[in-house]
Amino acid sequence: MLHEISLTVNGDHHAIVVRSHHTLLQVLREQLGITSPKRGCENGECGACTVLLDGLPVNSCLVLAPEADGAIIETTEGLSAGGELHPLQEAFIQHNAVQCGFCTPGMLMSSKALLDRNPHPTEDEIREALVGNLCRCTGYVRIIEAIQDVAGRGEEG
């Protein structure tokens, strides 16, 4: 069954037709060509597909495509929409918080959601916010340092 939905992705409005049994991840990657959300476990464990849905981090592999009707979606592509990297992206580079890069877009979106909600998190709060984002390369330490760096920079987070 096909559904007409409209959604906003990184500020761009899209009116599209989606299949009942597709997920938001499929819509983003295969219909809209937005490939920063990665297809990982498809079970809600790894967080590689994390996007913000109405401001909250969700696994886009666990959102039905028609459920996204009316949603405001943010992905890593939107973080540098003005041509400049987001402070979190800069900090990930500065701290070598990226190795293979597969988890990075999800890490960035979970980190952004955390700092939007809590601009000055403790290390425990950072670790708790990233429980649903697995990284098999970095050991997490540098990712946490990058987020702490941004969180320590002032009020805007």
Partner 1 sequence: MHPYDYCKPTSLGEAFQHLTSPGKVVAVVAGATDLIPRVRDGVFHPDLVVDVKGLPRLRDLTVQAGTGSLFVGAAIRMNELARSELVRSHWSVLADAAASMGNEQVRNRATIGGNICTASPAADTAPALYVLEGLVQIAGPGGERQLPVADFITGPRKTALRLGEIVIGLVLPRPPDGTVGAFEKLSRRQAGDLSIVSVAALAIPEAARPSWRLALGAVSPTPLRAAESEAILAGDLSDEAIDRAAAAAYGCCCPISDIRAGQEYRQAMVINLTRRVVRAIISRMPADPPCC
User: What x/- string results for residues 97 through 116 when contact with partner 1 is judged by CB under 8 A?
Assistant: -------------x--x---
User: What x/- string results for residues 34 through 53 when contact with partner 1 is judged by CB under 8 A?
Assistant: --------xxx--x--x--x
Which region, judged by CB under 8 A, interacts with partner 1, from 21-29, 93-101, 137-145, 147-155? 21-29
Of 14 and 19, nearer to partner 1 (C-beta) is 19
Q: How far apart are CA 85 and CA 104, in angstroms?
A: 14
Q: How far apart are CA 81 and CA 103, in angstroms?
A: 20
CB atoms within 10 A of CB 42: 14
* CA-closest candidate to residue 25, choices 16, 35, 15, 17: 35
The number of residues making up the chain comes to: 157
Instruction: Give the residues lining the site for partner 1 (CB under 8 A).
Output: 1, 3, 19-23, 42-44, 47, 50, 53, 56-59, 61-64, 66-67, 110, 113, 128-129, 131-132
